[in-house]
Structure 1
């Protein structure tokens, strides 16, 4: 792990790990809400039971957070995991009209929480770009 990647990896990793643990222990109401929002944006998820979806989401958050926090995980791998996960969240934001102001990319009051996930996409892309630049220098 390079020193320049530590702040982004630690803050994002800790956030995702915490979120994953919270989702793992979440109740039926939380599972239903997460599932409804996700399945509206990604219709193929409608066939997944809400509680199972919640556990899968939680596992992905925990795994991604752990990869970011673990210094033995190369930046390219951690960046790829974070980029993939956050791209899904940004896509959910883009596909859910109620999260945006009408005719705009900017968030509505309901969309502020999800729109902030764009910072994770930026950190993931930065990890990937840094890994590519480091490889070219060698």
Structure 2
């Protein structure tokens, strides 16, 4: 499993070839857990958590756009549906950023 996930990611982002597959999978899992915690812990500003979610979603959508067989034009193929649906993460992250920036600028000085 680690080799499959790593192969998909490294095919899109060649810089990941220098990381071994099991280590990559552990780093990915750690990043997902940290991102989830940042989104849930109220101490983390919304704009910060939103920026992290936006970056993560952009990476996933990069897989969708750059991996052959994931899409037919802009529409996802059956293989690409699992990743294409993650576009909502990008929208949520962008809205968290926007909301955090808007709320910060409206604070009394």
Range of TM-score over shorter length = over 0.9
CA distance in 2, matches of 1:35, 1:135: 38
Give the unaligned 5+ runs of structure 1. Answer: 1-29
Aligned with 1:54 (options 17, 25, 43): 25
Using structure 2 for the length normalisation, give the TM-score. Answer: 0.93
RMSD of equivalent CA atoms: 1.0
Q: Which stretches of structure 1, 4 residues or more, deviate above 4 A after TM superposition?
A: none
Task: Identify, as 1 or 2, the structure richer in helix.
Answer: 1
CA drift of 1:135 comes to 2.2
Q: How many residues align?
A: 107
CA distance in 1, matches of 2:52, 2:12: 21
- Name the residue aligned to 2:37: 66
1:88 matched to 2:59: yes
- Name the residue aligned to 2:75: 106
